[in-house]
Amino acid sequence: MRITVDIDEETLAKLQEVTGIKKKSPAVARALEQYLRSVRLEELIRMAMNGEMDYPYTNEELEAICDYDPDRFFSLDRVLPEIGSSELESKSPIAST
C-alpha cells in the first residue's frame, strides 16, 4: 500500500543509519514492524505478569529456544493465538483511524 507521510529529514536519516537500510520506504517499513513487535511483546509481558496466560515453556526450554533461534521465541502469534497480531496492531497508537 502506498501512503504519503511527512517525516523530518534528520529523523529519517537517523532511521536509515540505525537500520542500515539505505532506501527510505524499506527503512520506514522495518521501523514500523519493529515497533509493532515491541507493542506485542509488551502485551505478552503484561499478560504473563498479570497471570492471564499459562506460558507453555519451562525456563530450560526458553533458554534453549533463545540460544537456538531468537525469532522463534518472539513469534507472538504462536504464543498469543487468541490475540493475533492484527488485534494488537489495531491497539497501536499509530494504527489508522
Q: How far does the chain reach from its first CA to its final CA, in angstroms?
A: 16
The predicted model scores a pTM of: 0.54
> What does the mean pLDDT of the chain come to?
75
Using the predicted structure, report yes or no on whether residue 78 has a pLDDT greater than 70: no
Range of the domain at 84: 9-90
Cell numbers linked to 95: 494504527
Using the predicted structure, report yes or no on whether residue 66 has a pLDDT greater than 80: no
Total domains in the fold of the chain: 1
Distance, in Å, from the CA atom of 30 to the CA atom of 77, rounded to the nearest integer, reads 18
Model confidence pLDDT, tens digit, residues 20-64: 999 999 999 999 999 999 998 888 888 878 878 776 777 787 777
> Does some domain include residue 4?
no
> Does some domain include residue 18?
yes
pLDDT at 74: 53
Distance, in Å, from the CA atom of 33 to the CA atom of 30, rounded to the nearest integer, reads 5
Distance, in Å, from the CA atom of 74 to the CA atom of 38, rounded to the nearest integer, reads 10
> How many beta carbons lie within 10 A of that of residue 88, not counting itself?
21
pLDDT at 97: 38
> Does some domain include residue 62?
yes
